[in-house]
Structure 1
Amino acid sequence: MKLRLLVSGAFVAPAAFLSAAVLPAAAFAETQDPLLDVIVVTAPRASAATPVAEAVAPTPIEGPDPTALLARVPGGARVGNGALSGQAQYRGLFGPRLNLRVDGQRFASGGPNLMDPPFHYAPTSLVAALEVDRGVSPVRAGPGLAGGMNAVFKRLDFTDGGVRTGYDLTAEARSGDDSGSVGGIAGAAGEAWRLNLLGAYDRGQDAEFPGGTIRASRYERGVYGLSAGARANGQELSLDLRRQHTGPTGNPPFPMDIRYFDGDFARLGWRGAFGDIEAEAAASYAGIDHGMDNFNLRPGPASPMDRRDALAKAVTRAAEGAVSFPLAGGRLRLGGDAEAVDRNVQILAPANPAFLVTSLPDVETARTGAYAEWTGALGPVMGELGLRADRHEADAGRAVLGPALAAGPVALAAAFNAADRAREDDTVDAVARFWTPPRDGLSWRLTLARKTRVPGYVERYSWLPGNTSGGLADGNIYVGDMGLDPEVAWIAEAGFDWTGDHAYLRPTAYVREVDGYIQGVPFDATPGVLDTLQERVAAMSGDPTPLRFANVDARLWGFDVAGGVKLAPRWRLDAVASYVRGERRDVSDNLYRIAPPSLTAALSYDADAWSVTVETRLVADQAKVSRTNGEHRTGGYGVVSLYGDWRVREGARLSAGVENLLDRRYSDHLAGYNRVAGSDAPLGARLPGTGRSLFLRLSMAR
């Protein structure tokens, strides 16, 4: 099933996105494709007559990327690795385990430490909709161990006749980091064509918290592009082009900060209908160049010889196609897709031209997949049955070192170069999702699935012990393993959606048994004893107990529930609660970096032209931490926010609010550890959340 959170027109994200995130499918069944079970929340203001399940209001957007919104989805959380580096966690899984797309496009991030996760390239001011696959992604969306998410950009679409011009613009200021952003689209469209220009700019200073300033947390990003389309005779052609530049941006949880990300994105799509047969195809390109260092935004090492630059590059080329037609009382979709990614990472020392390390040398990965998916009625229930097979290939070039490197790294590079670095994997995914048509407002859901993920290039090819972790940002030193097997998850989940005249409820319980789950484990059986070359090289970098990526057996289980009630004609209460437990099945330990239990509740008053909401977010302590990864426990906390909005006139809306109203000092369990010296945030401690912060947002559309 798919959950779609829509932010359209001049309106901001729905209030307590928790309210938007939890609407039952039945509320909009008549306007959506029942095969997708899409839940849509439109932006028009709620009124006294609006059903509780359709009520909306503004929400604080904690930062310039959409992961803060996704954290309000049942089962969702945000991994706080920086203002522009936040990752979405869903039911305990994050990073490459999620099937993430930006405006329908999959691509590889440019940085080996995932300083630019996919939603780094989706500024909030450009996002029209956030689509979240509930539980697991359908096989048509590609491989992935868990659910998927797609950030859909704003656009002025085709008209039913005549020519229309329009715009959708947002400007915002926030006090917590002295930030500002502006962005949106402007375009024109007719019955057979459309053209949109888009642009966004975000800039913020170091964030403030109760107790001081988080040094090296500033950010800067700009993006511009166009979206065009043409249609005739039942066929449609689309073209999307974007250019993005991220300027100097701090990343306190990482050993380096962003100097730049330069990204180019292109996607050409086609779809057509030929009677009962529908077909579609697309080709896409993403090229990302990345530079980072450890001395510009943060205090550099005392010796210039210890200052480092790193350069990375990732190029993704992809193509996909599908055809669907009626079969056996339903509809069968047959499709295929392929992608090839080229990556390279090298480390330099500005003061020493003889220092050079290609830590991830010319890594090439390729995937070719095919799938079949049938959707239709199975007696009294609806069903979606999908099967997918993928062929994965990976290889790496030869590591190159400069003459300044010590004997240890030279020996490790020689061993890497002498090894057979080519790898091949075959994976099979299967998904069966069932739901009952709504009856008396009640619809039951059941999902059974087998999902897979192949090892990432960092997990497989990190031959040099270092801080490259694929986005974990935990201060540990990791070593890759070319012998890793794919992860295989067996998934079951069940729940129901119920909506009545004055209330709604959407609980889900789930379990994931993951064979071959990849995470860091002690490098050998004698941690701290420097009896291997890898451990001795790691000790030279300050960590005598490196971790290696390894296959373990894991289990993730839990439940999440969303609900709401209309207390009076203008008063309503909405809430989301999430609980996930991650544990090792092979040893007595917990999985690493799992969100603690949380509850978010919002009380709203909706007038005809304005609304006000008070929201509280309660997060429990997290004591079930990974001893293997040296994970620290965190205490619980509660944060109160107050916000509201005013419809100034048709097409114009002013929103304002105060986040962390009581200026509470807290640290979220999923936040990274501070690695910037001289900051008011303690070195090595979890980064604190932003203190009291006022925001003001103006949205205009026509």
Structure 2
Amino acid sequence: MKKILLTAFTANVALGATPLFAQADPLTDIIVIGQRDTATTDRVENDKEIVSTPDAAALVARAPGAALIDNGGLSGQVQYRGLFGDHILVRVDGQRFSSGGPNLMDPPLHYAPMALVDRIEVDRGISPVRKGPGIGGGVNAVLKQAQFSDGATLQPQADLTAGYRSGDNSYLLGGLASLSSERVKLGIIASYEKGEDLQFPGGTIASSNFERLSVGAHAGLKVGDGSLTLSYRRQETDPTGNPPFPMDIQFVNTDFLNLSYEGQIRDSLYLELDAGHVAVRHLMDNFSSRQGPASTMDQRATYADADTSTAAVSLRIGTADRHVRIGADVETTDKDARITNPSNDAFFLTSLSNISGSRVGAFVESRLGFGPVEAEVGARFDHHQMEASSPQLGSAVPMGPRILADAFTASDRSWSDNTVDVTARFWSEIGNIKPRLSFAYKTRVANALERFSWLPTGASGGLADGNIYVGDLNLDNEKAWIAEIGFDYQDSRFYARPTLFYRRIDDFIQGVPFDDTPGIIDNPVEMVANMNGDSTPLRFANVDAEFYGADLDFGWHIGGPLHLDGTASYVRAKRRDIDDNLYRIAPPNARLAVSWQEKAWHLGAELQAYAEQNKVSATNSEQPSDGYLLAGLFGHVALTSTLSIDASVENLFNKHYTDHLAGYNRVSGSDVVLGARLPGSGRSAFIRLRWTGM
């Protein structure tokens, strides 16, 4: 587990030094985006932001309404207004793809090393239909890339970063080197990160180490009034700990390939084309990086593969602020997970058996106005298909799993359905105030694990609640009704963006007791689950849920070089069908930073406050958590026009605390008690050197 440096700030808190709409830094800027040129667009430029963590999900988690689901140093998920996992549309360089691990050890932002991130785009609240289906907001990590220059000859560019963190003795090296002219660009990217086990007040979190290498190349060519870009990237994650899971990463080897075109083809016609492929190869086990089982008979190694192919076309007819956009996209996936015992070649079984899926969609979206009111409305239609093959089992697999495999083989293992999404946004300029209102009807289909996991295992798609889960072939699609209201206020010295939101989700998919008699083992599923240590397994099922709350970010130029910035977030998430709360929901929290900012340097301090969380899920056996307050320091110095140094101190007073979203320890022999919630980092210093130019 890797807890973020206190000063890996939210876009709005860490950086009082930069005006709200200042020049973007080429290294790391977060752009919180609703729609460009609408009331939900916010560009927060972070030319002095300090980011210590290798996990890009932690950077997103600093935005108002967001939080980090911390499942390991490189396995963080974004929670946004209570939703996480597949509920959030997360992409890297605009590319959609399926993660390899059934426990989401490699969520999408696993593939965005911070040394290579140029910016992160967050669709606040509602993601537009042109980006695909999904009931939560959208996140896109944009990696560094060569830019076309103004000259006719190739000019060199560089963007390099090196950093060190004391809390886990970790370091990072990486960046971009490129050649570009006005018509051609060529670039290579590379990064390497490695860290040891994380220290906390009282000891060390065992199996929280990490190691990751990423290399890639891209080329671009101006074609008429557009540009064509081809990119390839290879990422190799080596042994990396996941304390909230029953296994750790041994490797995740992934290849990304993408070809895209965008440009003006005629007056008022703007075309975008994209095609890509992602191949994930993943191995996890329960003995190489942690204290393993006493008997080799209980050793497990799981091999998981995922292949995703995508293609999309979009045509905008009109101008940037008055247009109709039409488009279509297709996505195909193939997934497989094979559980083995390395000490026994005859023991193997495919818990996810060659699952193939496809989605074909089309959308129409319009940007229009009604007098002083601006609007963006859109709708999309998608056809989905999924199918699973018969499980494969070795001769050493016992009778219980064989009975379940036979039943799954005899069932209808194919599924198809159609979904419709509709969104509408409205806003208006009234002096310094911009009121905004959004409505949406959004859908999500069950993923491969939720629908086709016939074998009860600890794989839960990253929930990490310690329960054993089994899927359900008859799951219905999730259907969300969404409403938001808020306003943006800005004058020469102050800005604020409060938002109220509500989501009513019918057929929300989560774990429920397997049958009406939990604890009474009278079914083969319960028998197998009991053999694996859980006599009360859960099955994925449709329930009714609702999410509501508020979030805010603000900034105040107090006077001279003194600035104050902050965020606050509150979300309430509960079941509507029974009296229970939803699992792993961030408690109310706020951040406040004060900074003294000069042209070439700035210094500041930040406070983070988290309330207790006692609205926990009884279904998931969730434990409540206490509130806490943390303090940190940060600073930045521009040594030259191209060289800068950043430094920070996390958890300044070395306080022992536990983040409610951190997960529970599953590693024996750690300084953290087995089954206890994982603690946050102790006092830790971070330093980073950045160089841009050539």
TM-score interval w.r.t. the shorter chain?
Answer: over 0.9
Report the CA distance shift for 1:615/1:404 in structure 2 as closer, same or farther (over 3 A). Answer: same
Question: C-alpha displacement at 1:613, in angstroms?
Answer: 1.1
Q: Which digits, 9 at most, give the CA deviation of each residue in 1:569-618, with x for residues without a partner? A: 11111110000000101011101111100001101011232111100110
Secondary structure of the equivalent of 2:340? strand
Which residue identity is paired with 2:144? Answer: K
Task: Answer whether contact 1:592 1:626 (CA < 8 A) is retained.
Answer: yes
Of 411, 425, 428, 1:433 maps to 425
1:385 aligns with 2:385: no
Report the CA distance shift for 1:602/1:441 in structure 2 as closer, same or farther (over 3 A). Answer: same
1:655 aligns with 2:655: no
1:337 aligns with 2:329: yes
Of 9, 17, 23, 2:11 maps to 17
1:34 aligns with 2:28: no
Which residue identity is paired with 2:86? Answer: P
Secondary structure of the equivalent of 1:18? coil
CA RMSD across the alignment: 2.0
Aligned to 2:96: 106
Q: Whole-Å Cα distance in 1 between the matches of residues 375 and 453 of structure 2?
A: 42
Of 286, 290, 297, 2:282 maps to 290
Of 351, 356, 359, 2:351 maps to 359
Q: Whole-Å Cα distance in 1 between the matches of residues 552 and 272 of structure 2?
A: 36
1:155 aligns with 2:145: yes
Question: C-alpha displacement at 1:330, in angstroms?
Answer: 2.2
Q: Whole-Å Cα distance in 2 between the matches of residues 492 and 397 of structure 1?
A: 40
Q: Whole-Å Cα distance in 1 between the matches of residues 370 and 175 of structure 2?
A: 44
Q: Whole-Å Cα distance in 1 between the matches of residues 45 and 294 of structure 2?
A: 55
Q: Whole-Å Cα distance in 1 between the matches of residues 602 and 525 of structure 2?
A: 59
Task: Answer whether contact 1:133 1:147 (CA < 8 A) is retained.
Answer: yes
- Spell out structure 1 runs of 4+ moving beyond 6 A: 20-26
1:543 aligns with 2:534: yes
Aligned to 1:50: none
Q: Which digits, 9 at most, give the CA deviation of each residue in 1:196-226, with x for residues without a partner? A: 1100001000000000000111110000001
Task: Answer whether contact 2:11 2:45 (CA < 8 A) is retained.
Answer: no
Per mean C-alpha deviation after superposition, the further-off stretch among 307-316 and 226-235 is 226-235
Of 591, 611, 617, 1:620 maps to 611
Task: Answer whether contact 1:253 1:473 (CA < 8 A) is retained.
Answer: yes
Q: Which digits, 9 at most, give the CA deviation of each residue in 1:18-71, with x for residues without a partner? A: 347999999589x99525853223355xxxxxxxxxxxx43343x202111111
Aligned to 2:341: 349
Report the CA distance shift for 1:101/1:587 in structure 2 as closer, same or farther (over 3 A). Answer: same
Aligned to 1:54: none
Question: C-alpha displacement at 1:329, in angstroms?
Answer: 8.7
Report the CA distance shift for 1:107/1:425 in structure 2 as closer, same or farther (over 3 A). Answer: same
Alignment of 1:90-169 (within 5 A): 90-162=80-152, 163-169=154-160
Report the CA distance shift for 1:394/1:650 in structure 2 as closer, same or farther (over 3 A). Answer: same
Question: C-alpha displacement at 1:238, in angstroms?
Answer: 0.5
Task: Answer whether contact 1:128 1:152 (CA < 8 A) is retained.
Answer: yes
Q: Whole-Å Cα distance in 2 between the matches of residues 449 and 78 of structure 1?
A: 25
Q: Which digits, 9 at most, give the CA deviation of each residue in 1:435-480, with x for residues without a partner? A: 113x322111110001110001100011011101111112100010
1:606 aligns with 2:571: no
Q: Whole-Å Cα distance in 2 between the matches of residues 187 and 328 of structure 1?
A: 30
Secondary structure of the equivalent of 1:120? helix
Q: Which digits, 9 at most, give the CA deviation of each residue in 1:244-296, with x for residues without a partner? A: 10001111111111110000000000123222211111110000000011111
Question: C-alpha displacement at 1:324, in angstroms?
Answer: 1.2
Secondary structure of the equivalent of 1:411? helix
Task: Answer whether contact 1:170 1:698 (CA < 8 A) is retained.
Answer: yes
Aligned to 2:434: 443
Of 320, 323, 326, 2:315 maps to 323
Report the CA distance shift for 1:132/1:515 in structure 2 as closer, same or farther (over 3 A). Answer: same
Q: Whole-Å Cα distance in 2 between the matches of residues 228 and 22 of structure 1?
A: 36
Q: What TM-score results when the alignment is normalised by the length of structure 1?
A: 0.94
Which residue identity is paired with 1:42? Answer: E
Task: Answer whether contact 1:314 1:341 (CA < 8 A) is retained.
Answer: yes
1:81 aligns with 2:71: yes
Alignment of 1:687-702 (within 5 A): 687-702=678-693
Aligned to 2:490: 499
Q: Which digits, 9 at most, give the CA deviation of each residue in 1:337-386, with x for residues without a partner? A: 00000001001111111111110000011100000000121221111000
Question: C-alpha displacement at 1:114, in angstroms?
Answer: 0.3
Alignment of 1:461-476 (within 5 A): 461-476=452-467
Task: Answer whether contact 2:591 2:607 (CA < 8 A) is retained.
Answer: yes
Report the CA distance shift for 1:213/1:24 in structure 2 as closer, same or farther (over 3 A). Answer: closer
Q: Whole-Å Cα distance in 1 between the matches of residues 476 and 653 of structure 2?
A: 48
Aligned to 1:552: 543
Which residue identity is paired with 1:89? Answer: Q
Report the CA distance shift for 1:657/1:20 in structure 2 as closer, same or farther (over 3 A). Answer: closer
Aligned to 1:571: 562
Task: Answer whether contact 1:60 1:657 (CA < 8 A) is retained.
Answer: no
Aligned to 1:8: none
Q: Whole-Å Cα distance in 2 between the matches of residues 26 and 496 of structure 1?
A: 16
Alignment of 1:382-531 (within 5 A): 382-437=374-429, 439-531=430-522
Q: Whole-Å Cα distance in 2 between the matches of residues 651 and 366 of structure 1?
A: 47
Q: Whole-Å Cα distance in 2 between the matches of residues 39 and 482 of structure 1?
A: 42
Task: Answer whether contact 2:39 2:428 (CA < 8 A) is retained.
Answer: no
Report the CA distance shift for 1:621/1:15 in structure 2 as closer, same or farther (over 3 A). Answer: closer
Report the CA distance shift for 1:426/1:23 in structure 2 as closer, same or farther (over 3 A). Answer: farther
Which residue identity is paired with 1:34? Answer: D
Q: What TM-score results when the alignment is normalised by the length of structure 2?
A: 0.95
Which residue identity is paired with 1:325? Answer: I
Gaps of 5+ in 2: 1-6, 24-30
Task: Answer whether contact 1:611 1:644 (CA < 8 A) is retained.
Answer: yes
